[in-house]
Amino acid sequence: MTEEFFDWEPVIEVAGKVAWEIAEKWSVVEADDVKQEILTYLLEDRQSTAEYAKDLDFLRKVCWTVGKRYASKERGYYDLIDDQYWYTPDEVRIALRSFVYSDEEIGKVIGNRDDLVRARISDNIVSARADATKGLSKLTKAQEAAVSRVFIYGLPPRDENERRAAYRGVESLTQIMNRNIRSGR
């Protein structure tokens, strides 16, 4: 189908359904805004998508990608301006390394410098440990295993892939922890 004979009716319907589904999952966006963003993208890129106009499954995937990208951008902006505490990957690594201590031991060392985790133990370590504990279960099994081995147990990574997986796991865990403290989950 050429660009000038592009039938927008089914595309608009697919974009509307996808936008509604994304708005249900991502509370920071409205369905109308997501639909508008999807349709704007499709309109600007109509030369590329015109040949796939009849393939609604392909268009649905494109709509999902564009919609999730928009929702993620909006959530990132919201997280930046909402003025709530923001965990950094370094703080998450410190919280993970502190898992070798019991809660009683953590209570005794708050305010002191710790040689094992190479950081000052502040009072927010207790809440960071709780958030990390909750967030670990949301990682993939491979990430959870790599993070546990490298950062909780303090063992060296087996190879470069495990090292990368551990650091990617910490990045994912940081996002999960930040998302959870904002949504109250």
DSSP track, 61-90: HHHHHHHHHHHHHHHHHHHHHS------HH
pLDDT, greater one: 6 or 155:
155
Residue with tokens 């410098």: 113
128-132 mean pLDDT: 87
pLDDT at residue 74 in the model = 87
Summarised one tens digit per residue, pLDDT across range 52-108 is 777 889 989 999 999 999 998 887 777 667 666 778 888 899 889 888 777 777 666
**pTM, whole model, 2 decimals?**
0.55
Identity (one letter) of the amino acid at 57? Answer: D
pLDDT at residue 98 in the model = 82
Look at residue 160 and tell me whether its pLDDT is greater than 90: yes
In the three-class reduction of DSSP (H, G, I as helix; E, B as strand; rest coil), residue 120 is classed as strand
Look at residue 185 and tell me whether its pLDDT is greater than 60: no
108-112 mean pLDDT: 65
pLDDT at residue 123 in the model = 60
Burial of 102 per CB tally in 10 Å (0-12, 13-18, 19+)? exposed
